[in-house]
Each structure stands twice: as structure tokens, then as C-alpha cells.
Amino acid sequence: MKEKFFSANKSCCRILAILLMLVCLTGMALPVFGAAPKLSATAAILIDGNTGNILFEKNPDKIMYPASTTKIMTALVALEAVDRGEISLEQPLVMSQTAFDSQDIDGSGISLDVGEEMKLKNLLEGLLIASGNDAASVIAEGVSGTESAFVEKMNQRAGELGLSNTHFVNPHGLHHKDHYTTARDMAMLAREAMKNETFRSIVECAHIYLPPTNMSEKRYFINTNNLVSRMRYADYFYEYATGIKTGTTSEAGNCLVASAESGEKYIISVIFDAEEISVSHNESRDLLSHGLNDFKSQRLAKRDDIFGEVKVKQALDGTDHILLSAEKNLDSLFPKDGDPKKVEVKTEIPEKVYAPISSGQVIGKAIFTYEGNKVGEVNLVSTVEIKRHFLGFLMSFGEWLWSLAVIRYTVYIILGVALGFVFVLVAGFVRALKKTKRKKRRNTRYRPPRY
């Protein structure tokens, strides 16, 4: 009987192990919260655009070719150069012979010719709406002098954003084995780009007229992202869509980075390597619908809610602790059928801080999780202003000295020797006192007279 029982258990274990292996090998989609649509695309992700929290993922860290979704980074680098005052949106840029010769005859473009001038803002429209590879090359040269120098900035920015599995070789996304990213990285990049108002205003346009140039009449383009336009494939249109960018090569498949908004909800999806344009659009729409329909906006923290306290050192008024509150209101997408009471909060607060401290200074953070999934994070700030003690620099120096092991051991040794010396002195004093008392007793002892 026992043998049959153990044999059955072993069979169950084998079956479970096989099933787990099949899940890993097939790259099964793993929804972070509840049910989610079934996807055929190789990699996908859905995030809360406000917080960056992941709502759904399928092979989020698998290395993929991004195709023209690369142009999200191209536009971001260019627009950040505008924000820094390095170039203007009104600056006319010229199509050089070098840029013209670098174009792939089968690649998408806006038909720029050698010597043609176009303002940066119009090139960005041609880049993001018509997916112009030629616009990407002109922007790269106009912003950085050469395409290679611009690509260096793209990779530098990727590093700053923490896109650890991303590397660019060109500004347009034509295939190269060393030009790659992941769904997770692309979602993070898209979230950053959508913070730029100019970028956001372009990618939500259904179509665009580019004004005449020195070599051409005005041009008209329909957005390659059919989620925001009914003009090419009306069936793919999604009323809540607000962007962002398509990409297609034979190696990358059909890719689509999309976004949608409804009320306070704002979400971003990424689909990589879908078989057809219809698949990339339909599965993006399914993901976006999942985010908008199956989640609700939940307030996890209100501004000024107290989440803890921290020890203060070197305060002028002798304050030894201060309270820490939420820096701002925190709203996060939360499963509609979820129980907010099950949200857990973990605080990350240092053991101590040093004056001076300004009111509103960020000191720690509170992290909110639900069923093991991160659903939000908010900075914790000081509720008061604390001035530093005028002897603070001496206190700091003393603390620094005490942090040195050699100083601590030296002090311990000196104290030990001093205590030993005091002990010897006290012991000697006690012995001398006792001896004096004995002498005094002998001298005062009664002796009878002799006759």
C-alpha cells in the first residue's frame, strides 16, 4: 500500500515538473494581477504609466529587435537637447549626402533629398508619425554632428534610465545584431518619453501635413500606429489610445509600443515580434483594454500622511527625532476585485540623519505591495526644518574620529590603563589606611605600670 502511495506521489511530481518545464519553454504569459488576454507575440508588457508598476508581462526580459520603436529614443534625445537649449525646434536641418547614402532603399522614409532643409519640429513629426528613417538620420546629424555621436548619446541615455538590456547602433532601428532591447526596457523608455509634452502631442496625431521645403511641396502622412487613426485600418482604432510608435522588420516582426488613457488611468503596452500588423494592433488593444477595464485607481497614500520617524543628530534646538510624511498623493492601478486592506507597506528609512534639514527634504520612501506585487512607491519627507548646531563641525569631526578603529582601540587601552592605575591607587590608599589604623590601635593600647 505504501509503495503504491509513494509511486503515485512520484508520478504526480514528474507531471508537475514536466508542466513547469513546458511553461518555461513556451514563454507562457504571466499576468501580474488576475486574468489577462492570451497573446501570440513573443514578448509583451503592460505597465501603469503613472507609477511604472507592471500589470502584465510575457518574456519581459527576452532580448528583442526593436525595429522603428527605436525612434522613441531618437526623439527623446533630440527633445532633451531642445530642453537644454542646445538646439531649437525651429532650427532647419539639412539632408547631407552622407545621411542620404546611409538610407536603406527598402526602409520607410519621408522622401528627403540631398540639400533639403526641414525644421526639427517637422522632422520629429516625420520621424514619429511616418516613421521616416531619413528623418532620423537628419535629426542625428543636426543634433550631434554625426550619426555615430548621436548614437553614443542614445546609449548614454539608456544607461541613465537603467535600460540594462538595451543597445543602439543607429537612430532608426534598421536591423543590426547588436541593436536590441527588451519589452521591459522599451516600456520604461516610452514612459520617460511620454513625459515630454512635445513628444506626447506628436504621437497622438492621426495624420500630419509637413510644410513645403526648399525642395518640395507639402507632404501628407497617416500615422503608422492605427490605434490612433481610422484612416488606414479603421478596425484597429482604439478610442482611448494616445500613441506611441510602430516598428517592423523581417527580423523584429511587427512591434507596437502603445499607450491609452481613461480618467485617471494611464497605461503603456509593448508588443514585440507579432506575426502580422493585425496581431500587433489587436493584441496591443487587448492589453490596453485589460489595463483600463480590469483595474481601478486606488489612493495608497495622501500627502502629509505620517509613515515613520528618524533620529536627528547635531540639531541646534536639541531635536532628536523628526516625523516623515508622504511627499505627495499616491494613486496606483489596483485590481478591481482586489482588497485594499491587504496592501502592505514597507518603509526604507535611514538609521539617522544630520542637521541641517529642510522642510520637505526627501529622507526615505514607502513601498506598497499587494499579494507580493509592487503597486506603488512614494518618497518620505521631513515635516519640519531643523537648523544645525553651531558646533556641528566639531561633532562631525569627533564622530569621524570615533569611526576609526585605531582611535577607538587607543581610547579603550588608555581607559583601561587609567582604570588600572586608579585601582592600584585606591588599593594602595586602602592598605595605607588600614596600616595607619593598626598603628594607632597599638599606640593607644593600655599597659599597666611596673613596680
| 7 counts as catalytic | no
Instruction: Collect all residues with Cβ–Cβ distance below 8 Å to 349 and sequence separation of at least 6.
Output: 308, 309, 310, 324, 363, 364, 380
Burial 70-109 (b: 16+ CB within 10 A, else e): bbbbbbbbbbbbbeeeebeeeeebebbeebbebbeeebbb
Describe the strand order of the beta sheet including 373-382 as a list of residue ranges.
344-348, 362-370, 373-382, 321-326, 306-313, 352-354
Strands 253-262 vs 265-274: parallel, antiparallel or unpaired: antiparallel
Query: What is the rounded CA–CA span in Å between residue 268 and residue 290?
Result: 11
Query: What is the rounded CA–CA span in Å between residue 31 and residue 26?
Result: 15
Query: What is the rounded CA–CA span in Å between residue 217 and residue 399?
Result: 73
Catalytic annotation, pick one of 58, 68, 265, 269: 68
Which residue(s) pair with 380 in the sheet?
326, 364
Query: Which is nearest to 269 in space by CA: 249, 292, 251?
Result: 292
Catalytic annotation, pick one of 58, 102, 108, 131: 131
Q: Are 230 and 239 in contact (CB under 8 A)?
A: no
Query: What is the rounded CA–CA span in Å between residue 430 and residue 120?
Result: 95
Q: Are 294 and 287 in contact (CB under 8 A)?
A: no
Q: What are phi and psi of 231, to 5 degrees?
A: -75, -25
| 265 counts as catalytic | no
Which residue(s) pair with 348 in the sheet?
365
Strands 306-313 vs 295-301: parallel, antiparallel or unpaired: unpaired
Q: Give, in degrees to the nearest 5, the angle at Cα 263 between 261 and 267.
A: 30
Catalytic annotation, pick one of 58, 71, 153, 245: 71
| 71 counts as catalytic | yes
Task: Catalogue the active-site residues.
Answer: 68, 71, 131
